[in-house]
Amino acid sequence: MLAAVGLIAAGDTLGATAALPAGAATRVFDVRQFGAVGDGQTLTTEALNAAVTACHAAGGGLVYLPPGRYLSGMVELRSRVTLYLDAGATLLGSTKLADYAPRSGPPARGDANQRHLIFARDAEDLGLAGPGCLDGQGPAFWEPSGRVKPSAADGWRDVATYDWKPRPRPSPLLEFYNCTNLHLTDVRIQNAPGWTLRPIHCDNVFIRGLRIHNPVWGPNTDGIDPTCCRNVLISDCLIETGDDAICLKSENPYGEALRPTRNITITNCILSSCCNGLKFGTATRGGFENIVFSNSVIFNDDVPLNARVISGIALEMVDGGWLEGVLVSNIRMQRVRTPIFIRRGNRTPRPDGTPGTLRGVMIENIHATDSVLTSSVTGLPGFDIEEVTLSNLRFESQEGGPADWTHRLIPELPRGYPEARNFGRLPAFGFYFRHVRGLRLRHLELSAARTEARPAVFCEDVKDLELDGLRSAPTVGQEPVVRLVQTKRAWVRGCGAPPGTKAFLEVRGDQSEEIVLTDNQLLAATEAVRTTPEVPPRTVAALGNATRL
**Across residues 55-83, what is the average pLDDT?**
98
Residue 188 region, left (φ>0) first, then alpha (ψ -120 to 50), else beta? beta
Calculate what percentage of the chain has a pLDDT beyond 90.
94
DSSP string, 433-488: EEEEEEEEEEEEEEE--TT--S-SEEEEEEEEEEEES-EE---SSS--SEEEES-E
> What integer is the mean pLDDT of 285-297?
98
Whether the predicted pLDDT of 24 surpasses 60: no
Could you write out the DSSP letters of every residue in 343-401?
EE--SS--TTS---EEEEEEEEEEEEEEE-S-EEEE-BTTB-EEEEEEEEEEEEE----
* Model confidence pLDDT, tens digit, residues 302-320: 999 999 999 999 999 999 9
Q: Which of 472, 424, 480, 432 is nearest to 454 (CA)?
A: 480
**Is the CB of residue 481 less than 8 Å from the CB of residue 472?**
yes
Quote the pLDDT of residue 25. Answer: 54
The more confident residue out of 468 and 23 is 468
- Summarised one tens digit per residue, pLDDT across range 99-109 is 999 999 999 99
Supply the pTM of this predicted model: 0.95
For strands 230-235 and 81-85, give the pairing.
unpaired
pLDDT of residue 518: 98
Average pLDDT over residues 206-210: 98
Mean pLDDT of the chain, nearest integer = 95
Backbone angles phi, psi at 305, to 5 degrees: -55, -35
Mean pLDDT, residues 77-102: 98
- Digit-coded pLDDT (tens) for 123-156: 999 999 999 999 999 999 999 999 999 998 899 9
Ranking 3-12, 74-83, 228-237, 238-247 by mean pLDDT, the lowest is 3-12
